[in-house]
């Protein structure tokens, strides 16, 4: 049991004092699933920090790692790391190797890999048999030489690939970092980093190994990390060192550190860590996952951080999680293998029949009678030898050339993919790349597409795009309905439109003159004041460090409009409103949570008034508006507009507070904030008291920019009958929002949202939905299924798997949000196993690697910073929209051509080698025959095809004919589309035609559209609470540096 193990571990570490409480907890909570909640609470206990772990939803990963740990044998032995001293035990070094072969191991390993392939084994067998004299009717080397050739080519390919891996490993191993060695900071390369080293990592650098934070440049040893390489979450995570060590900042302090760090052995759970720091002359302090920085993460928004290395090299969590890329085989290859097997059986049967025949012949034609043959003591009369002889004789039935030919064909196809100009992204100078060539034809048969959201569908750049203030909208309104016409299928815009910045002169004018000017000013003030962003002064301006990209975009937007957020002190926010510096005293931060869907600040304005600024989702804000609030309808209409465009909206409101009421509230708040039981919930209730009678100011619209051509591509792919599932680690609202903006979900669609937190509830919900679908279950409906990671955990359990799959397959679109990397690959695996269809996974981050490797075809988005998805993918493209050409053109062509090639190879071999015995006639006979035979053979095909074409023409054929006659096929296509069903390639040609959204009424069990594309990304219940974080900064002062 998960938590029992933990309890024991802590016990062995001798934490007597804590142990008692822990035991108590353990006896309360027998549900192992809650183990992590427990552990979170534990850390809370230890640190005496305000608890914020209950309520809200935590990411399913934690639970997942909990469950996986049950399956894992408890093999990890605790390790003890000495600070500033030589380690007593030897740990794995920080050298990382991802190569397949060494110099010595290459040959045996490579040969083993090759011979494991059935065809190679067969040819080796034939080649060996041919070495027996008198058995082989063919030459000795007819099989051996081609086989050696094939193996050599494959070997060279492997060597090149492995060499690349070696080189890449070396680059990583030779990266430099700063380590405290022999009393001074020394720059050393990564592979020399050892357990127990004190390492300093500066902003923007990647962490060389897993380490425990000692101190950082930020207050209270905080630091931000970007862990998208590990889990794909894009918002920055705050990690915090122990307050015990936070003061160890200077070199002398660090040299003076002595003691021991105990922690569990290396394991693969990204979200778990237990350890104890025993500094000399200090009480032992517990360490949890919040104190750990993992290899693969990047330090952000933090000048520097100092940490003690605990896991290095292959012990690090990142490496523990890495899996060998599985060998993927395409469907065609599988079928080909089957056919080869069938051919082998035919061959055996043929050989058997032939040798029986030979035996009979030998019996009839005895040695005495056939005096001219002289077969005395000849092996040709031996049945077994004859069998071998015939196998060798007929071995050409299994085409050895097929393998080579296929390799060459596929390699060329891969080259064509690499060479495709239309899949070249000029901005990052990235052409498409086929990293494996053996899946080309698979691309043409994709039926299910699993896509990541961030970085794949979106650019992961937020922009303040529009706003509505006091009933007036500002910002650009680009033409929405600019569908690409048929002929520009290939010419995708090379770069997305550049109107990224909010730019509307009317707003600037209106600030000055318009009647709504005060509201506008207030609105912009809220934008500049109500947030958790930390400003950082650089030589040329201010850099905003936001853990939530939305907030960053808003603050930046306000800055652009003359409301510059300049500095933050623990008690105030300083802004420069149109050149005038104003200081807002920050009294309270009413934190954001996904339950509340809003965040507020209580400030004292420079004029001395008490005011509450609030921003949040439209529905929660509108609920709390006063009757007197204006512009409700107008704003609502504008929000609707924004949402249709797929923008992320936030409503802004304010209320002036009465001094006495506030003081009263403050008292209550102070009491509640020290309550131990259900504090978070009580706090929320407390916040509620203040957030009422709001006055609406307006709303902002932030664009989570989609990559160029994403909606069009999705529409095309959906028309090609490819089902698209979006699997994202992001929040539900964001995911739905993106679903709308990329037109995966249309407004005519009903959403089925499944958010449950127990197996039974999930079961009930799934069954209810399934039964309400009735007959249409299993068919495609105008439905979108939205499910979150927590529920998915239950839905993917063996028991509910089928029900979930039934429901998911009945929906036109499926969006899974807050899923862990593991779940991503589980979903893909489930579809792969239960639906006999080709799956494709596309993603850009390390969190997508699992599904990329699991799916039949994995596509990585390249050109961005992280290359991990690209490196494990089969194809890499720079933009999502290139998928269209990759699948519908290259895939379809490859499939067509490869299958033709395979069939031809079989045909050729059968014809060539079975008819081999027949001798070519001489002179005229031969030449006349040469004309006759093909004519006679083609006759049937020609007649059949011509007849079919005349009698019943398919659309494709019709288009071909028209094209041949240089007539525009558009008319035929259009007319046809109205009536007949189109085949896949015809779909391609009918892009101009759009299906009208069906308006099928849905049963009431299906939830209707939720709030208007509200979205807000913010780390919740993190190690440092939002208000605490805000309070800890004073950007008017210099930060400590080393």
Partner 1 sequence: MMASSYTAKEEDGHITVSGPGALRSRKPENTAFKQQRLPAWQPILTAGTVLPAFFIIGLLFIPIGIGLFVTSNNIKEFEIDYTGVDASSPCYNCSQSFSWNSSRPCTCSIPFYLEQPYESNVYVYYGLSNFYQNHRRYVKSRDDSQLNGDPKSLMEPSKECEPYAFHENKPIAPCGAIANSMFNDTLELFYNDPNGTKVQILLNTTGIAWWTDKHVKFGNPGRNSPNLTAAFQGTTKPINWRRPVFDLDADEANNGFINEDFIVWMRTAALPTFRKLYRIINKKSGMVPTLPRGNYSLEVVYNYPVRSFEGRKRMILSTISWMGGKNPFLGIAYITVGSVCFFLGVVLLLIHHKCGNRNNNADISN
Q: Is 454 annotated as a binding residue?
A: yes
Beta strands in 220-352 (DSSP E): 222-226, 237-240, 259-263, 275-279, 285-287, 292-293, 298-300, 304-311
635, 853, 876, 1025: residue in contact with partner 1 (rule CB under 8 A): 853
Helix H segments across 530-585? 549-560
Smallest gap from Cβ 66 to partner 1, in A, equals: 13
Supply 516's token pair: 């709504």
Q: State how far Cα 907 lies from the chain centre.
A: 43
Q: Is 932 in the site for partner 1 (CB under 8 A)?
A: yes
Residues 277-316 that bind partner 1 (CB under 8 A): 296
Q: Is 45 annotated as a binding residue?
A: no
Contact between residue 699 and residue 641 where contact means Cβ atoms under 8 Å apart: no
Any catalytic annotation for residue 788?
A: no
Place of tokens 């680059």: 171
Interface mask toward partner 1 for 107-146; x: CB under 8 A: ---------------------------x--x---------
Supply 922's token pair: 């001489």
Q: Is 399 in the site for partner 1 (CB under 8 A)?
A: no
Place of tokens 């194809």: 875
Between 168 and 285, whose beta carbon lies closer to partner 1? Answer: 168
Q: Which residues of 800-816 are buried (b: 16+ CB within 10 A; e: fewer)?
A: beebbbbbbbbbbbbbb
Beta strands in 720-819 (DSSP E): 723-727, 750-754, 781-788, 811-817
Supply 912's token pair: 């060539």
Q: Closest Cα to residue 700, out of 1015, 1017, 1030, 1020? A: 1015
Question: Bridge-partner residues for 704, per DSSP?
Answer: 462
How far apart CA 766 and CA 272 sit, in angstroms, is 31
Q: Is 177 in the site for partner 1 (CB under 8 A)?
A: no
864, 894, 1017, 1026: residue in contact with partner 1 (rule CB under 8 A): 864
Q: Is 356 in the site for partner 1 (CB under 8 A)?
A: no
Stretch near partner 1 under the rule CB under 8 A, chosen from 74-82, 707-715, 720-728, 929-937: 929-937
Smallest gap from Cβ 158 to partner 1, in A, equals: 17
Smallest gap from Cβ 184 to partner 1, in A, equals: 25
Q: What is the DSSP string of 647-702?
A: -EEEEEEEEEPPHHHHHHHHHHHHHHTT--TTHHHHHHHHHHHHS-SBEEEEEEEE
Place of tokens 């990293």: 435
323, 506, 776, 1007: residue in contact with partner 1 (rule CB under 8 A): 323
For β-strands 458-469 and 695-706, DSSP reports them as: antiparallel
Q: Is 274 in the site for partner 1 (CB under 8 A)?
A: no
Q: Is 648 annotated as a binding residue?
A: yes
Stretch near partner 1 under the rule CB under 8 A, chosen from 667-675, 744-752, 775-783, 861-869: 861-869
Smallest gap from Cβ 319 to partner 1, in A, equals: 5
How far apart CA 663 and CA 690 sit, in angstroms, is 11
Smallest gap from Cβ 165 to partner 1, in A, equals: 7
Residues 964-1003 that bind partner 1 (CB under 8 A): 964, 972, 975-976, 979-980
Number of chain positions touching partner 1 (CB under 8 A): 100
Question: Bridge-partner residues for 694, per DSSP?
Answer: 625
54, 80, 87, 98: residue in contact with partner 1 (rule CB under 8 A): 98
Residues 410-449 that bind partner 1 (CB under 8 A): 416, 418-421, 424, 426, 429-431
Between 343 and 492, whose beta carbon lies closer to partner 1? Answer: 492
Residues 182-241 that bind partner 1 (CB under 8 A): 204, 206, 229-230
Q: Is 961 in the site for partner 1 (CB under 8 A)?
A: yes
How far apart CA 940 and CA 946 sit, in angstroms, is 10
Q: Is 833 in the site for partner 1 (CB under 8 A)?
A: no
How far apart CA 127 and CA 129 sit, in angstroms, is 5
**Max CA distance (Å), the chain:** 128
How far apart CA 668 and CA 541 sit, in angstroms, is 41
Smallest gap from Cβ 560 to partner 1, in A, equals: 26
Q: Closest Cα to residue 659, out of 611, 626, 589? A: 611
Q: Is 473 annotated as a binding residue?
A: no
Stretch near partner 1 under the rule CB under 8 A, chosen from 10-18, 254-262, 580-588, 950-958: 950-958
Q: Count of CB atoms within 10 A of residue 414's CB?
A: 22
Between 752 and 955, whose beta carbon lies closer to partner 1? Answer: 955
Q: What is the DSSP string of 876-891?
A: EESSTTHHHHIIIIII
Residues 6 or more apart whose Cβ sits within 8 Å of residue 867: none
Q: What phi and psi values does residue 452 have, to the nearest 5 degrees? A: -80, 165
96, 198, 309, 699: residue in contact with partner 1 (rule CB under 8 A): 96
Supply 682's token pair: 């009580």
Smallest gap from Cβ 516 to partner 1, in A, equals: 44
Q: Which residues of 746-766 are buried (b: 16+ CB within 10 A; e: fewer)?
A: eeebbbbbbbbeebeebbebb
Q: Is 276 in the site for partner 1 (CB under 8 A)?
A: no
Q: Is 321 annotated as a binding residue?
A: no
Q: Is 950 in the site for partner 1 (CB under 8 A)?
A: yes
Stretch near partner 1 under the rule CB under 8 A, chosen from 399-407, 691-699, 704-712, 952-960: 952-960
Q: Is 93 in the site for partner 1 (CB under 8 A)?
A: no
How far apart CA 368 and CA 51 sit, in angstroms, is 103
Residue 709 per-residue DSSP state: T
Smallest gap from Cβ 229 to partner 1, in A, equals: 6
Q: Is 700 in the site for partner 1 (CB under 8 A)?
A: no
Burial of 436 (0-12, 13-18, 19+ CB in 10 A): middle
22, 81, 172, 602: residue in contact with partner 1 (rule CB under 8 A): 172
Q: Is 272 annotated as a binding residue?
A: no
Between 608 and 979, whose beta carbon lies closer to partner 1? Answer: 979
Residues 444-483 that bind partner 1 (CB under 8 A): none
Give me Rg for the CA atoms of the chain: 34
Smallest gap from Cβ 75 to partner 1, in A, equals: 15
Interface mask toward partner 1 for 359-378; x: CB under 8 A: ------x--xxxxxxxxx-x
Residues 250-269 that bind partner 1 (CB under 8 A): 268
- Among 452, 550, 788, 976, the active-site one is 452
Residue 684: HSE in the Cβ half-sphere, 13 Å Cα cutoff: 15
Q: Is 94 annotated as a binding residue?
A: no
Q: State how far Cα 875 lies from the chain centre.
A: 15
Smallest gap from Cβ 803 to partner 1, in A, equals: 25
Between 325 and 636, whose beta carbon lies closer to partner 1? Answer: 325
380, 401, 517, 594: residue in contact with partner 1 (rule CB under 8 A): 380
Between 175 and 578, whose beta carbon lies closer to partner 1? Answer: 175
Interface mask toward partner 1 for 869-908; x: CB under 8 A: -xxx------------------------------------
Q: Is 848 annotated as a binding residue?
A: yes
Between 700 and 876, whose beta carbon lies closer to partner 1? Answer: 876
Q: Closest Cα to residue 389, out of 136, 139, 143? A: 136
Smallest gap from Cβ 369 to partner 1, in A, equals: 4
First to last CA, the chain: 44
Smallest gap from Cβ 542 to partner 1, in A, equals: 22
823 vs 102, 794, 848, CA distance in Å?
A: 34, 11, 10
Annotated binding site for ATP: 452-454, 551, 592, 615, 648, 728-730, 818, 824, 847-848
Q: Which positions are catalytic? A: 452
Annotated binding site for Mg(2+): 452, 454, 844, 848
């Amino acid at each position: 049991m998960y938590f029992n193990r933990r309890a024991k571990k802590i016990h062995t570490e001798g934490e007597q004092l804590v142990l008692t409480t822990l035991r108590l907890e353990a006896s309360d909570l027998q549900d192992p699933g809650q183990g992590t909640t427990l552990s979170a609470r534990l850390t809370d206990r230890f640190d005496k920090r305000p608890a914020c772990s209950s309520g809200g939803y935590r990411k399913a990963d934690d639970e997942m790692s909990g469950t996986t740990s049950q399956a894992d044998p408890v093999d990890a032995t605790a390790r003890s790391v000495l600070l500033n001293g030589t380690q007593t035990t030897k740990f794995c070094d920080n050298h990382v190797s991802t190569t397949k072969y060494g110099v010595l191991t290459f040959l045996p390993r490579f040969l083993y890999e090759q011979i494991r392939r059935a065809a190679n084994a067969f040819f080796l067998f034939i080649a060996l048999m041919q070495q027996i004299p008198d058995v082989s009717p063919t030459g000795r080397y007819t099989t051996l030489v081609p086989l050696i050739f094939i193996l050599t080519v494959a070997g060279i390919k492997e060597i090149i690939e492995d060499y690349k891996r070696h080189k890449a490993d070396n680059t990583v191993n030779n990266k430099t970092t700063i380590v405290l060695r022999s009393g001074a900071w020394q720059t050393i390369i990564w592979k020399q980093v050892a357990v127990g080293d004190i390492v300093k990592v500066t902003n923007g650098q990647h962490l060389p190994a897993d380490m425990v934070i000692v101190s950082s440049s930020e207050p209270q040893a905080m630091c931000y990390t970007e862990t998208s390489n590990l889990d794909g979450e894009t918002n920055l995570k705050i990690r915090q060192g122990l307050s015990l060590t936070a003061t160890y900042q200077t070199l002398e302090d660090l040299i003076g550190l002595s003691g021991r760090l105990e922690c569990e052995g290396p394991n693969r759970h990204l979200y778990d860590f237990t350890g104890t720091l025993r500094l000399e002359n200090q009480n032992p302090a517990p360490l949890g996952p919040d104190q750990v920085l993992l290899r693969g993460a990047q330090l952000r928004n933090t000048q520097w951080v100092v940490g003690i290395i605990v896991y290095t090299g292959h012990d690090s969590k990142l490496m523990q999680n890495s899996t060998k890329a599985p060998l993927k085989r395409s469907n065609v290859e599988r079928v080909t293998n089957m056919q080869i097997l069938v051919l082998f059986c035919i061959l055996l049967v043929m050989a058997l029949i032939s040798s029986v025949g030979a035996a009979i012949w030998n019996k009839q034609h005895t040695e005495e009678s056939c005096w001219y043959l002289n077969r005395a003591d000849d092996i040709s009369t031996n049945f077994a030898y004859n069998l071998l002889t015939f196998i060798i004789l007929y071995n050409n039935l299994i085409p050895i050339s097929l393998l080579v030919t296929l390799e060459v064909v596929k390699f060329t196809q891969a080259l064509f993919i690499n060479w495709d100009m239309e899949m070249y992204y000029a901005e990052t100078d990235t052409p498409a790349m086929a990293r494996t060539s053996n899946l080309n034809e698979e691309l043409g048969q994709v039926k299910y597409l699993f896509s990541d959201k961030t970085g794949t569908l979106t650019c992961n750049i937020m922009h303040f795009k529009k706003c509505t203030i006091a009933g007036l909208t500002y910002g650009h309104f680009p033409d929405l309905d600019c569908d690409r016409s048929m002929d520009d299928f290939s010419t995708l815009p090379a770069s997305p439109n550049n109107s990224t910045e909010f730019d509307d002169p009317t707003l600037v004018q209106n600030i000055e003159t318009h009647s709504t000017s005060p509201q506008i000013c207030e609105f912009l003030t809220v934008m500049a004041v109500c947030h958790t962003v930390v400003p950082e002064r650089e030589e040329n301006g201010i850099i905003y460090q936001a853990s939530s990209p939305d907030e960053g975009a808003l603050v930046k937007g306000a800055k652009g409009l003359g409301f510059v957020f300049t500095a933050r002190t623990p008690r105030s926010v300083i802004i420069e409103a149109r050149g005038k510096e104003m200081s807002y005293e920050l009294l309270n931060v009413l934190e954001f949570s996904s339950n509340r869907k809003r965040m507020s600040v209580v400030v004292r304005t420079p004029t001395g008034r008490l005011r509450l600024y609030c921003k949040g989702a439209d529905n929660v804000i509108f609920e709390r508006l006063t009757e007197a609030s204006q512009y409700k309808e107008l704003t609502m209409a504008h929000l609707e507009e924004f949402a249709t465009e797929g923008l992320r909206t936030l409503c802004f409101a304010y209320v002036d507070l009465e001094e006495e009421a506030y003081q009263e509230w403050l008292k209550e708040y102070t009491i509640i904030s020290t309550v131990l039981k259900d504090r978070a919930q009580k706090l929320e209730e407390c916040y509620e008291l203040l957030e009422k009678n709001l006055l609406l100011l307006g709303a902002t619209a932030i664009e989570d920019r989609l990559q160029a051509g994403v909606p069009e591509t999705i529409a095309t792919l959906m028309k090609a009958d490819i089902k698209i599932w979006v699997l994202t680690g992001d929040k539900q609202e964001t995911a739905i929002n993106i679903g709308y903006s990329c037109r995966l979900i249309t407004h005519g669609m009903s959403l089925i949202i499944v958010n449950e937190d127990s197996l039974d509830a999930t079961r009930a919900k799934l069954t209810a939905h399934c039964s309400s679908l009735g007959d249409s279950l299993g068919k495609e409906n105008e439905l979108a299924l939205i499910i979150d990671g927590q529920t998915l955990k239950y839905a993917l359990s063996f028991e509910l798997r089928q029900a979930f799959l039934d429901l998911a397959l009945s929906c036109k679109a499926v969006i899974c949000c807050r899923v862990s990397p593991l779940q991503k690959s589980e979903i893909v695996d489930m579809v792969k196993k239960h639906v006999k269809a080709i799956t494709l996974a596309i993603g850009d981050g390390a969190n997508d690697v699992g599904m990329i490797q699991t799916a039949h075809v994995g596509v990585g988005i390249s050109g961005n910073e992280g290359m991990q998805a690209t490196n494990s993918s089969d194809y890499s493209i720079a933009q999502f929209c290139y998928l269209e050409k990759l699948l519908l053109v290259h895939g379809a062509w490859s499939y067509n051509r490869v299958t033709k090639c395979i069939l031809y190879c079989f045909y050729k071999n059968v014809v060539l080698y079975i008819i081999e015995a027949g001798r070519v006639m001489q002179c005229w006979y031969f030449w006349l025959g040469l004309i006759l035979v093909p004519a006679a053979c083609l006759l049937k095909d020609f007649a059949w095809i011509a007849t079919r074409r005349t009698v019943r023409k398919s659309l494709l054929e019709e288009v071909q004919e028209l094209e041949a006659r240089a007539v525009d096929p558009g008319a035929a296509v259009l007319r046809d589309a109205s009536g007949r069903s189109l085949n896949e390639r015809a779909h391609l040609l009918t892009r101009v035609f759009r299906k009208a959204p069906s308006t099928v009424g849905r049963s009431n069990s299906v939830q209707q559209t939720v709030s208007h594309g509200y979205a807000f990304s913010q780390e919740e219940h993190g190690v440092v609470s939002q208000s605490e974080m805000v309070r800890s900064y004073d950007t008017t002062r210099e930060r400590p540096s080393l």
